[in-house]
Structure 1
Amino acid sequence: MDTWSGNERAVRAFTRRGFREEGRRRAAMLVEGERSDRVLLGMLREERANVGRAKGASAGVRGGASAG
């Protein structure tokens, strides 16, 4: 999955759920007339399984591996 670097709330929310920053495309997005980075986030299946155990089944991330 991805978001723009100015969306700090989304980046924090995804990282709290176990996603990790996997990449950054510098100046890849035009937001309100200014260039911003595109932040790429992902999670491996193994990491997803650990999130479910650590936080309980209802707090785990649903779905497969990282979206792209």
Structure 2
Amino acid sequence: MMEFLKKATEWVLDKEEQAAQNCKIDLEDVQKQIHLILEKRAKIQKECEENLAELDHILDRLEKIKEKEESCRRS
């Protein structure tokens, strides 16, 4: 399904690019699309950063657990 959406999006962008080359595109529409994509990008970036921070937290905890176990083995 994702591949279909990618191809559909590329097709639409190709058509818009052709329209722009022929000066037959509404600049306001393009600006709205740019704005929407920038908003979506910012939202996804924030979510990714939050997820990465959570994974870093889990890794830190696991490393500490590992260190405790290793110290038990040395004793």
TM-score (norm 2): 0.20
More strand by share: 1
Q: Tell me which of the two structures has the higher relative contact order, counting C-alpha pairs closer than 8 angstroms and 6 or more residues apart.
A: 1
TM-score (norm 1): 0.22
More helix by share: 2
Larger Rg: 1 or 2? Answer: 2
